[in-house]
Amino acid sequence: MFLITGSNGQLGTELSKLLPEAVLTDVADLDITDETAVKNFVSAHQIETIINCAAYTAVDKAEDDEDLAAKINIDGPRNLALSGAKIVHISTDYVFDGLAHKPYRPEDKANPVSVYGKTKLAGEQEVLKYAKEAVIIRTAWLYSPYGNNFVKTMRRLGAEKENLNVVADQIGTPTYAADLAQVIVQILPQISTENKGVYHFTNEGVCSWYDFARKIMELSELNCKVNPIPSSAYPTKATRPFYSVLDKSKIKQTFNIEIEHWEEGLKQCLKQL
Ligand SMILES: NC(=O)c1ccc[n+]([C@@H]2O[C@H](COP(=O)([O-])OP(=O)(O)OC[C@H]3O[C@@H](n4cnc5c(N)ncnc54)[C@H](OP(=O)(O)O)[C@@H]3O)[C@@H](O)[C@H]2O)c1
């Protein structure tokens, strides 16, 4: 039996559609920070594999809310790993400092520059320490038709404004949550003690938030002009990596995965909106 935690979130919702037989829980049904509740739930529902989509994902808010971010992003995954089930755990490109000049491989040194990134890295370490069979997938710039994300914000602002300033010096790869969900489903039957470890998955290609915003406007047929600005002109509470492109060779080779370009993922998402 599969358990999806955080099933009301962006990724959780996409996965729920692909795995209708899974047990779905969000914080109201199963709070992953409650060790006893997790243990009892896993045992009562005979869960063999947990896909952990639950997380504290408010990157800026986390700077002032470290205790709760740590509880959800560190204690939560530890509780899930301690339950004895196999686990697919999702992490982030924000574990890196963004000072590299070539795509980050899973084994490259992590050095998070935000509270969110630090808690997510510590969460990975708990999963690796306590789960026998675990696949950790770092992803980036996730969007979907659900919840709050950059695509939905740009479409809303693009319909309201004639001009929009968007940072052009942060480089990464947008990832359609449905594409990540598909990959997780493909990986599920292949999880073993041999392939325990950290993997990277985003869509293919590289862009800045400015490029991404322009493509959203173009494909949505919105006449809002997007202006490139430096991060210094758009201060945020949390520092973000300037460069967080992820090298996906390991996930492709280990699990025989093919990956769509980010523009294709975006087109698919826009069809749903
Ligand atoms: N979003 C991105 O751009 C991005 C980028 C890289 C990596 N990731 C990672 O990808 C994964 C999925 O992200 P997402 O965007 O799908 O997240 P999301 O939309 O924020 O969903 C997270 C879900 O977890 C729930 N949750 C929070 N605390 C919980 C708890 N204690 N117990 C159980 N559920 C709890 C949330 O409920 P509430 O809404 O009620 O709090 C929400 O439904 C996360 O691990 C995230 O760190 C995301």
Tell whether 232 is covered by a domain. no
Mean pLDDT of 98-111: 98
The minimum-distance atom of ligand 1 relative to the CA of 93 is 6
- Does 58 sit in the ligand 1 pocket, CB within 6 Å? no
- The whole-number pLDDT of residue 136 equals 99
Tell whether 86 is covered by a domain. yes
Please state, for a pLDDT cut of 90, what percent of the chain lies above it.
100
Q: Which residues contact 189 (CB under 8 A, 6 or more apart)?
A: none
- The whole-number pLDDT of residue 182 equals 98
Give 53 Cα–ligand 1 centroid separation in angstroms.
6
Q: What is the pLDDT of residues 82-95, one digit of tens each?
A: 999 999 999 999 99
What is the number of structural domains in the chain?
1
Q: Of 102, 123, 164, 149, which Cα lies nearest the Cα of 33?
A: 123
Band the pLDDT of 39: cuts 50, 70, 90.
Answer: very high
Mean pLDDT of 176-200: 98
- Per annotation, catalytic residue among 116, 143, 176, 243: 116
- Does 147 sit in the ligand 1 pocket, CB within 6 Å? yes
- The whole-number pLDDT of residue 192 equals 97
Average model confidence (pLDDT) across the chain: 98
Tell whether 106 is covered by a domain. yes
- Does 83 sit in the ligand 1 pocket, CB within 6 Å? no
- The whole-number pLDDT of residue 57 equals 98
What CATH number has the domain bearing residue 75?
A: 3.40.50.720
Listing DSSP states for the chain in one string gives -EEEESTTSHHHHHHHHH-TTSEEE-TTT--TT-HHHHHHHHHHTT--EEEE------TTGGGG-HHHHHIIIIIHHHHHHHTTSEEEEEEEGGGS-S--SSPBPTTSPP---SHHHHHHHHHHHHHHHH-SSEEEEEE-SEE-SSSS-HHHHHHHHHHH-SEEEEE-S-EE--EEHHHHHHHHHHHGGG--STT-EEEE---BS-EEHHHHHHHHHHHTT--PEEEEE-GGGS--SS---SB--B--HHHHHHHT----BHHHHHHHHHHH-
- Does 9 sit in the ligand 1 pocket, CB within 6 Å? yes
- The whole-number pLDDT of residue 267 equals 98
- The whole-number pLDDT of residue 116 equals 98
Tell whether 188 is covered by a domain. yes
The minimum-distance atom of ligand 1 relative to the CA of 76 is 31
Please indicate whether residue 143 is annotated as part of the active site.
no
- The whole-number pLDDT of residue 203 equals 99
- The whole-number pLDDT of residue 114 equals 98
Tell whether 269 is covered by a domain. no
Q: What is the pLDDT of residues 214-234, one digit of tens each?
A: 999 999 999 999 999 999 999
Question: Residue written as tokens 């826009």?
Answer: 270
Tell whether 121 is covered by a domain. yes
- The whole-number pLDDT of residue 38 equals 98
Give 170 Cα–ligand 1 centroid separation in angstroms.
22
Domain of residue 9, residue span: 2-144+176-203+245-259
- The whole-number pLDDT of residue 83 equals 98
Tell whether 69 is covered by a domain. yes
